[in-house]
């Protein structure tokens, strides 16, 4: 009887702890992602008790400037049950490797399933092209002065702030906004 009670208690503790567990899918380009945006975001959300699922356009080990990330799934393998939120990390490789129909479909699926989603740096352009920022306020990197035009084309209101949250969507400008981006993700996932 005592053994039964111990097992029941352990099962209930494990059950309760998994109910509240959250997972954030962090999507990085297989080559040339922005290391600070990835590292800071990953570390802060994990410190808050949120599990990270590293995702890319290819399996294996994604690399950028000597920084390596082990990929657990490809974008095409993602299902809504894998995560509570999906977030695209920027960097020069984002438009080369993630700006495609596979990424768009993953984002459309996230939006259709009321998941939290977002992007930092150049990657909000991917969200805009996927159609999941239409009618939303957003921000992003605009070092090439093209963001306003991209957002206008896809019906997105450009807000000149480091981090913008609009409903269940978060966007951020650049590596220096990575901490604010991570805090926003934590806030959205913990609500």
121-141 pLDDT, tens digit each: 999 999 999 999 999 999 999
Regarding the domain delimited by 22-190, which CATH topology (the fold level of the hierarchy) does it fall under?
Rossmann fold (3.40.50)
Q: Which long-range contacts (CB under 8 A, 24 or more apart) does 161-165 make?
A: 163/139, 164/137, 164/138, 164/139
Is the pLDDT score of 42 beyond 90? yes
Report pLDDT digits (tens) over 14-38.
Answer: 433 444 699 999 999 999 999 999 9
* 9 pLDDT higher than 70: no
């Amino acid at each position: 009887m005592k053994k039964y009670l111990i097992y029941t208690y352990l099962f209930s503790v494990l059950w309760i702890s998994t109910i509240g567990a959250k997972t954030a899918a962090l999507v990085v380009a297989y080559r040339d992602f922005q290391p600070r945006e990835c590292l800071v975001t990953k570390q802060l959300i994990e410190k808050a008790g949120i599990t990270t699922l590293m995702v890319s356009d290819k399996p294996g080990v994604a690399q950028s400037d000597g920084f390596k990330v082990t990929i657990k799934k490809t974008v095409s393998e993602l299902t809504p049950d894998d995560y509570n939120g999906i977030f695209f990390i920027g960097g020069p490789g984002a438009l080369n490797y993630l700006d495609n129909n596979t990424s768009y479909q993953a984002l459309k699926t996230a939006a259709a399933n009321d998941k939290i989603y977002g992007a930092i740096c150049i990657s909000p352009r991917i969200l805009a092209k996927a159609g999941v920022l239409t009618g939303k306020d957003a921000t992003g990197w605009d070092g090439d002065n093209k963001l306003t035009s991209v957002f206008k084309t896809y019906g997105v209101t450009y807000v000149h702030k480091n981090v913008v949250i609009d409903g269940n969507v978060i966007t951020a400008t650049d590596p220096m906004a990575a901490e604010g981006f991570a805090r926003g993700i934590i806030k959205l996932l913990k609500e």
